[in-house]
Structure 1
Amino acid sequence: MHITDILNFYEEVKDDIKSQNTSSVRTKIVISLSEGPKRTKDLRELTGIPASTILHGINELEKQELVLREGDNFFLSEIGKIMSLKLIDTIRSSVSLKKLQRLLSNHEIKDIPQDLLMDIGDLSNSQLIEADNIDVFKVHGTHLEIVLDSKRIRGISPIFYPNYPETFKKIIENDINVELILTSDVLEKTIKSVDKGKKDLKKLIETGNLNLWRLDKDIKVAFTVTDKFMTMGFFSVNGMYDPTRNLVSNDSDALSWGNRLFEYYCKQADKVEL
C-alpha cells in the first residue's frame, strides 16, 4: 500500500483516532470488556473509576457502536472486540518502545524482519541489562547465567567470545540441546578454538545435541532464546557490537517472538554437517 493511501485513510478516521486517544475512561472500559461482559460494579473495581464516570463513558461507546448492553451487563460489539485488540497491541508496543529506547538509540534494527517489528509488543515484559563502572561484565555474565541454566538453547551469533566454545561444549556434553546459527567468520573461528577443530566439533554434532547452521550474511543482531529466557543485543550504527546493553525477558510472548526470529534466519542458513 502506498503512503499516500495511508495519509488519505487518516483524513477519513482522524476524528475517531482523536476520540479514542483523548479519553482514558473509554480506553480503560474497552480494554476491561475485552475479557468478557461486565457490570458497572465490575468495571469500577477493575479500573478504579467512579460509576457515574463509567456510565458516561459507556454511553459514548454505545453511540460509536463499540459497546452493547444486556440487562446489567455491558459487552463489546464485534467492532469493539477488534478495537480492543488494537488498543492492547498499541499499549504493549508503546511499553516495549519505551523500554527499548535506550537500547535502540543509535543501534541497528534493520536485521529484525518487519513482521516481528510489528509484534514488538511481545517484548513489553522485558528489562534492559546494562553494564556499569562497578560491573563492566554484567551483560556478559547475565548471558552466561541464562545459558548455563537452560535445557534448550537457540542462538544467532555474528560475534565471538573466546570462552563461548568451551562453555557450549560443556553444556552439550551435559545432554542439553543446542541450536546455533553462526555467521561464516564466527563459525570458522569457533572451529579453530575447539581443541581438535572440526574433529571435536563433529563429535558434538554426532551426539545429536548440537545443530549448527552457517549464515553467509553479515547481520547486526545477536540473540539467544532458551526454554526460560530470551536475550538480545545490537550493533551500534558505527558497525561495532555493543556489549554493554542487552534486552532480557522470561515472558512467554518474548520467548515465542525469539523463536520466530531464530526460525526466520534458520531458513536462510545452511546446515553444517562437517
Structure 2
Amino acid sequence: MKENEYKDLKYILTSTMRTKLIISIYEKSKNLDDLRNELGKPSATILHGLKELENANYVKKLNKYYSLTSNGYLLAVNLIKLIENWYSVDVNKVFWNNHSLDYLPEEAMKNLYRLKNAECITSTNKDLSQALGEYIKLISDCEELKIILPIFSEIHLDKIIEISRNGKARNIEIITTNKIADSIKSNPIYSNALKENKHIGISILNKKTNIYLTVSEKFVSLNLFFKDGHFDDSQLLVDKTKEGINWGNELFKHYKYTISEP
C-alpha cells in the first residue's frame, strides 16, 4: 500500500464517525436527515464529521446533499476492501491462522475479501475424512477443473482419473511441481493413465508451491500446509460464489504464468 493511501485510511479509521460517513455516502448522495436517520447520531456530531471530511477533500456538498469527491471515492473503495478482508480472515480465522501463507501471492492476499462467503469444512474425530469426502463430492459434479497440485496423493489422483473417465469432467487442467511430476512419471499406473487420458492436461511449475487449489464452474476450494511443512487434508476452504470462483481463477492464472514446460 502506498504511504499516502495508508495515511488516508489511518485518518478515516481513527474515527468511527468518519468511517461510517464515508461508507454511507459511498452508496449514494445523502442529506443531513438521511444520515441522521441512518446513523442514529445527533446532527451536531454528523455535521462535525462531514466538515472534517470536506476539509480533507473527501466529501463535497451540493444542494444540501453530501457526496464523495474523486479522492473520497477511491478512499471508500480501499476502506470497504480492507474491512471485507478483515471480515473474510476473521470468519475463517482458524483456517488462516493454522496454515502457512508463504505461497499465496500478494494480489491474492489483498483480495481475500472475495472469500468472505467461504466455508471451512473441518474433519472431526468421528469423521476423519470429512473434508476429503466433501472435496471428492465437489469435484465429481463438475465439467471443468483447474487444479494446482502440490502433493503426490493416490487418493486424489485416483479420483481425478476416475471422474475424467466416468464423470462429467471433460477438461481437467493440472499444474504441479517438478517433484510431483517426477513421482507420477515413476509410477507406471498413473503415468500411463494420464498419458492416455485426453481430458487431463498437466503443466509443470518452475518453482515450489504449497497451495492445493481447485477451481471449477461451481466452486473454488483451498487446502494449505501447516507451518511445519506438512500437508493438511483435514481443513478445506470452499466458496461457491462467483466472487470466490473469480479469486480462484486469478490465483490459478498467476501460477500458470510461471509454468516452465507443458
Which TM bucket (shorter chain)? 0.7 to 0.9
Mapped contact 2:141–2:168 kept (Cα < 8 A): no
2:65 to 73, 76, 85: 73
Q: Flag the 1:142–1:227 CA change in 2: closer, same or farther, 3 A.
A: same
- Measured after TM superposition, the shift of residue 80 of structure 1 is 0.7
Q: What SS class does the counterpart of residue 27 from structure 2 fall into?
A: coil
Q: Which residue number in structure 1 is paired with residue 194 of structure 2?
A: 201
Alignment of structure 1 residues 214-225 onto 2, 5 Å: 214-225=204-215
Preserved CA contact (<8 Å) 2:222 2:238: yes
- For 2:230, give the aligned amino acid: M
Question: Residues 200 and 137 from structure 1, CA distance in 2 versus in 1: closer, same or farther, beyond 3 angstroms?
Answer: closer
CA shift for structure 1 position 271: 4.9
Q: Which runs of structure 2 are paired with 1:1-274 in the superposition (5 Å)?
A: 19-44=11-36, 47-50=38-41, 52=43, 53-173=45-165, 174-176=167-169, 177-190=171-184, 195=189, 197-205=190-198, 209-272=199-262
Distance 2:127 2:209 in 1: 28
Aligned amino acid, residue 184 of structure 1: N
Task: Give the match's secondary structure for 2:83.
Answer: helix
Give the whole-Å Cα distance in 2 for the aligned partners of 1:65 and 1:264. 37
Letter in 1 for 2:178: S
Report how many aligned residue pairs link the two structures: 259
Q: Secondary structure at the match of 2:104?
A: coil
Give the match's secondary structure for 1:121. helix
* 16-25 or 108-117, which deviates more: 16-25
- Give per-residue Cα distances to partners, 1:183-233, cap 9 Å, x unaligned: 2343354467685x444323322xxx3221123543222111111211111
Query: What secondary structure sits across from 2:40 in the alignment?
Result: coil
Q: TM-score scaled by structure 1?
A: 0.81
TM-score by length of 2: 0.84
- Structure 2 distance, partners of 1:55, 1:138, is 54
Q: What is the Cα deviation at residue 111 of structure 1?
A: 1.2
- Contact 2:204–2:259 (Cα < 8 Å) also in 1: yes
Gaps of 5+ in 1: none
Between the aligned partners of 1:138 and 1:23, the Cα distance in structure 2 is 44
**CA shift for structure 1 position 234:** 1.3
